[in-house]
């Protein structure tokens, strides 16, 4: 047996999303993913031409870093624009992690996974089911509820809630 076959090749996965903002459902997926892969890159997706996110890509990266700092070096954060599958190939990731909350998620995600496989067949998509306690959680809903001044301690980390309060100018 040669040295190459003895070596363990590092499994790298990306978990792409807008994360505007990150919430406990996302964090649960990240925590579970680091038990499956050697390295998980939380990849903040943005479109520089039409991004209508509340937080800038850099703000999102900073919030996520703070929320998952205990997972370093197994999880790290990056940002990208363009196709997730292209980003995965560019950085040497063999897997794209996607989370599923409902049947409607599955329909969309299956189409996306098949399209990605068609474009770059060396990148696989792995689906993780959302935590049943958090399956209804969506960044869009969190922003809406937070805009009315509601605190969401079971849905978002305190650092995220504080950033929402500042960004939305609520007390």
Residue with tokens 């790290």: 76
Query: Does the annotation count 49 as an active-site position?
Result: no
Q: Is 84 annotated as catalytic?
A: no
Catalytic residue among 18, 23, 26, 163: 26
In angstroms, rounded to a whole number, what is the distance separating the alpha carbons of residues 76 and 58?
Answer: 14
Q: At what angle do helices 103-119 and 84-91 cross, to 10 degrees?
A: 50
Say how far residue 145 (Cα) sits from the centre of its chain.
Answer: 21
Is residue 28 within 8 A of residue 134, CB to CB? The reply is: yes
| Active-site residue flag, 139 | yes
Given 4, 6, 8, 50, which residue is catalytic? Answer: 50
d(C-alpha 42, C-alpha 53), whole Å: 17
Which tokens is 66 given? 């703070």
Active site residue 150: no
* CA torsion angle 44 70 30 93 (round to 10): 60
Is 83 exposed, middle or buried, given 0-12, 13-18 or 19+ CB atoms closer than 10 A? middle
| Catalytic residue positions, numbered | 26, 50, 101, 139
């Amino acid at each position: 047996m040669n040295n190459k076959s003895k070596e363990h090749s590092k499994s790298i996965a990306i978990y792409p999303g807008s994360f505007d903002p990150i919430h406990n459902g996302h964090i649960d997926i990240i925590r579970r993913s680091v038990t499956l892969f050697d390295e998980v890159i939380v990849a903040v997706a943005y479109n520089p031409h039409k991004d209508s996110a509340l937080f800038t890509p850099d703000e999102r990266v900073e919030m996520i870093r703070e929320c998952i700092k205990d997972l370093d070096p197994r999880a790290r954060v990056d940002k990208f624009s363009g196709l997730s599958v292209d980003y995965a190939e560019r950085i040497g990731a063999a897997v794209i992690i996607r989370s599923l909350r409902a049947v409607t998620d599955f329909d969309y995600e299956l189409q996306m996974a098949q399209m990605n496989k068609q474009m770059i067949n060396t990148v696989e998509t792995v689906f993780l089911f959302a935590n049943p306690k958090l399956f209804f959680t969506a960044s869009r809903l969190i922003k809406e509820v937070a805009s009315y001044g509601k605190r969401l301690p079971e849905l978002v980390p305190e650092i995220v809630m504080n950033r929402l309060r500042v960004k939305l100018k609520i007390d």
